[in-house]
Structure 1
Amino acid sequence: MTNSLAINLENFQQVIIEESKTKLVLVSFWAQQIPESVALRDKLAMALANCSDTLLFSTVDCESQGQIAQQFGIQSLPTVILVQDGQPIDGLTGPQTDATINEFLDKYLPKQQDVLLAEAKTLLAENKVSEAFPIITQAYQLDNERADIKLVLSDVYIQTGKITEAEALLKSIKMIDQDSAYQSLMAKLELATQAADSPEIQALEQQLASDADNVQLQQKLAAQYSQVNRHDDALTMLFLLVQKDGADIASKDLLLDVLKSLPEGDALASKYRRKLYTLMY
């Protein structure tokens, strides 16, 4: 039980009073002569092996620490008590099945989507948008109803040029959840929409309309598309150029640069990598 902390009279104050101010403390009371209490202790240790950030698992050997067991009013074993701010808030008594243990822990342990959401927020704060993309996408797959997950995914969509996806996701957020973060993202979406059709892009599109076979114009326009995150338009244009002329190294290099700029796991990148592979081999 390397992930558990044995409570004694010396560390009682630190664990039960001080530690429980910042995280939940789960105390498993056991005695060697009560096999059920040992079994529950070990099951909890295994279940909580990777949860030390949010919950401290501790044990009390009632044979050697009877004074502590008496202080908690333990009358039978096995008994488990959950402590917060120095006070018991929940617990278990008697033998437990895996199902009842999981049901109890699920009430207090963060869900996987919560962990992923927190990780994605941290990455966004560090401007690591590409790294945040697959993580927040996974969180959304686990729970596609939560507004907080939708907001972060919308932000990632906007920053990676998925304007249509961001707009659809923001529209799905209920009015009760349309807080200041939502309003900020709506403004960000509007700016991104405007940038996606800048005067420079409009000018290049007009030139290309009257000179449709001009490869340099198409490359310039594709580069502009990529800069404002219109990656689908850029890749479509560049792939057609490479498809038309396999010796067009400049277009191929530009296409590869756009692909490299897309986040890991992006469906668009996967699609064009497959198309490029098929074209080359």
Structure 2
Amino acid sequence: MAPNTHVFDVTEAAFETEVLQASLQTPILLDFWAEWCGPCKTLGPALEQLAAEFNGAFRLAKVDVEANQQLAAMFGIQSIPTVVLVKDGQLADGFAGALPPAQVRQFLAKHGIEPTVPADEPEPATDSEPAADPQEVLTAAREAVTAEPANDERKLDLAIALLMTGDAEEARPLLTHLPANLATDARAQRAQSHLELLDSLPADRSVAELLNAAANGEPQDLHAAAVAQLLHGEPETGLELLIDLLRTHRSYQDDLARRTLINAFRILPDTELVARYRRKMSSLLF
């Protein structure tokens, strides 16, 4: 049997690099266990099977609490097995006890973690190529909702199309009222990130005006200019402004620069650009 490359043992010495920094790229599921723990012998193999099945959508880090007592203490582990999700460099959620695989799947889905398609398998076919013009996409989405008013997938399509044209107000209730199973979909989470960026953009000010204002170095102006560039200008310039904001005003508005960077990473299609700026963010945070 081939080794499961999505499962690894983690130690206190490697925790920052292999878990915190790595979670900026891929969610990490921490499995706190011990050799003497009976339920761990049920949950552990189930988690490893899910890690293989999800094919890199998350990685499973095994933490032997006997060998890593300080790490267990840092997380306040009081019983095992305990599972903790680390995502975007922060603790996102967790559970205690040997949950059945179906409930673990629900836990992962709640955080937008779904199985990925292996590289050697074709992507599912789509009905048609998306129109290049955002207004055409919006028109098609409205027609689809009119034809199927009870179809929540079509409503999500419409919300995404509205966000692409900058219409946050009409998109907001569509996203708010999505059913729970769809609200955790990766597309819905990207749309929510897009909505948060639009909400933070000052009204009635051009990108050029915001860039001029940012020259004074004030954090609110740097942030506004960055978001404007991300949405309506040059995304790389926006990312660079956010890195500058993170470097100079890290604690501003409860870590706003880091949170905005994470939203930007979710919506930008340029994977190379995103990977480069994830590394920049990681180097500043850790």
TM-score (norm 2): 0.42
